[in-house]
Structure 1
Amino acid sequence: MSIVEKELLRAREAAKAANMLTREQKDQALAVMGEHILRATDEILTANKKDLTRAQEAFETQARLDRLALDEQRILAMVQGLHAVIALDDPIGEVMASWTRPNGLLIEQVRVPFGVVGVIYEARPNVTVDTAALTLKTGNVVVLRGGKEAYETNAALTGALRRALEEVGLPSDLVMMVTDTDRRSVDALIRARGMVDLVIPRGGAGLIRHVVEHATVPVIETGVGNCHVYVDANAKLDMAVEITLNAKTQRPSVCNAAETLLIHEAIAQDFLPLIARRMIASGVELRLDEPSFFVLQNHSALSHNEERTLALLQRAVEEDYATEFLGLILAVKVVSSLDEAIDHIGRYGTGHSEAIVTEDLATAEEFLRRVDAAAVYHNASTRFTDGFEFGFGAEIGISTQKLHARGPMGLRELTSYKYRVRGTGQTRT
């Protein structure tokens, strides 16, 4: 029996206890988890430093290093996330609907845990804590398989969480970490039908594709984000500048950051210099189609630092519009109409988050109705596609599929349901 199989047997056993937990037990455990993480701050940061050193030696990208790095503020944010989950209602046992049939049967649709949830992720240590919080609150057991680049950090975090569970008298195996870092452990986890009830992959396109194509247990596909901001002819230009800048630069290494800017041709001459000046000041490289490149190449307001400006103004190629850059690069395209913008998003988007900036409410409503994505925005940044920002306390991922969950996945998305049927002796004829 492999290491992963032994760990899954323990997880299956722990799931029996998880299903019986009261809200009070869950919330007490979450509070103590926060205390243990704070106590272990030095240990966690030391482990994280080891991971960062190895990642730097392996020449990981700046975006991956940013996702991997922890500091005291990010650790505190994890603890705040735990307390946000404590404040949320416990969904388990919630009666979603009930009705009485003509024969007198009372039927109730009731939320229940999945059981054992496997989460496969890369260089995002915060996922360890967010996931543990959400699965515990929903009466699930979580089996964490983080990337080997974050192994030391994830081990330190998981150790703190498990010590907290022991302190409050609950099975530490409610939160488990796959200790085998060999890539074959991923395949063992996603093929453990009957042992694992659900797998959620979080990471790059390659990881997600591998899990979706090879899993024999149910999978919720998350997160590749080729997100767009479309600035319409009737947009307020100052608002459009701030929204686009935020969507691209507030944290460029995450899946809800904008990767392409679409601009209506009617305002391109006025808007492009405004946004380009701000993007260049922020170190963003612009990959421009011919119309936008022509406008900026000939605009005197951008020529003060000609060498830097020219380095950040590049001609786009087809591949740029299909790329999730996860860094300070933004593809730009001028479009002739709302229809062209929507067609472009339909061709290159990944169903994650899309935004329109416009003062024309009819145009906004058409965009919101026609664009097929988990989250569509009017006059707001795509960066809000996040469980915390949506009021979910935290998230286990952002689903870009349509079954069984879509968008930021909070507590309710980590439940299934069953039917409770109450009778008085009815038999079927």
Structure 2
Amino acid sequence: MSLLAVLLLAQAAPAPATEVPARITRLLEHSPVVDGHNDLAWEIRERHDARVEAVDLSANTAALPYPMQTDIPRLKRGGLGGQFWSVWIPATVTGPRAVEMTLEEIDIVRRFVAANPSAFAMARTAADVRRVQREGRIASLIGIEGGHQIDGRLSVLRQMKALGVGYMTLTHGKSLDWADSSTDAPRANGLTQFGRDVVAEMNRIGMIVDVSHVSDATMAAVLDVSKAPVIASHSGARAVADVPRNIPDDLLRRIGAAGGVVMANVYPAFVSAEWRAWDQQRTAFAKSQGLATDAYGPKSPAPLLAWDAAHPMPRVTSANVADHIDHIARVAGKGAVGIGGDYDGIGGTAPEDMTGVDGYPRLFAELARRGWSDAELAALAQGNVLRVMERVEAVAASQKSMPPVDATEPD
């Protein structure tokens, strides 16, 4: 073998495991993660009665009576430089109360950002994200997680944008009259005319369309009509874990071809079909005993601890998450994949070596061992989603002379 061939082979080979941590540290210092989805705001609301300033995010929130997966020290250890904070509300809350509750959630985000000015700064654009990162802070963006949160009014959508909302997930767990959820019976069979108006207005005002949670038919319809690339803010590959919330290969290809990004989720129920089946059995047992279904680990009630001992939980690790990222990259291209962990929206569950937001370096180390280059990892961390943001901004700029759409959802 020639010397040139030896050198090329050495360049192509994955880095030895002992060399990866320092490499990943350097990489994430230069190109920190911009994560597509985190539910810290809802956790503060539910677990701490929305007493934002009473929650010390500069300390370890895993040590709280109700442990959380996010705090500033772990965000920094995890290499985060940008975070879309979800302002999720239950899909069962509709009408004017859904709008009110969304405003309350936005207020929670703005308050915890303001309470920690050395760590966080609000951001709206890709340029804002880069500026805040240069300041050594975490760019804080906002995403709405369900079209029910605008109460069928594009005027409300526009006001959410004015308040700094960067994306809207079209549905959550329940179908709407104008768009269908992946986990509910269809009502729109894709998108109705009002649903198409929602997408068009999001394009016009520069709000990213998020297709996590939507049905396959709705996702296809969005891709048919959107003039800007879309994201799936926290999803996986259905070919790796066959669950409805994950995305099939044909739609992965379409998202990639349109310049969009699928941001990989770490929730074991979406990462591993085996774990999901185990959890469904555990949930059924908990319900049969009249127990809460969201308790995991040593603080679970005694009957669940006994059930867990008899039914060991399937292992889920960063390698399983990496399998999804690898698959999305193979099908849609390495420019079509990002990170959207869903931390603090997944209860007490997470991959065993990614239990909080500090786990991302382990995921990047796993991908490095599989041969991902620094440039590819930097694109995964933030380059791909920032490119989408810039393109969405450009599409909006090209339509700035167009008037607002006055449509409301038909009664």
Length-normalised TM-score, structure 2: 0.30
Kindly indicate which of the two structures has a greater share of residues assigned to strand. Answer: 1
Indicate the structure (1 or 2) with the bigger Cα radius of gyration.
1
TM-score, reference length from structure 1: 0.29
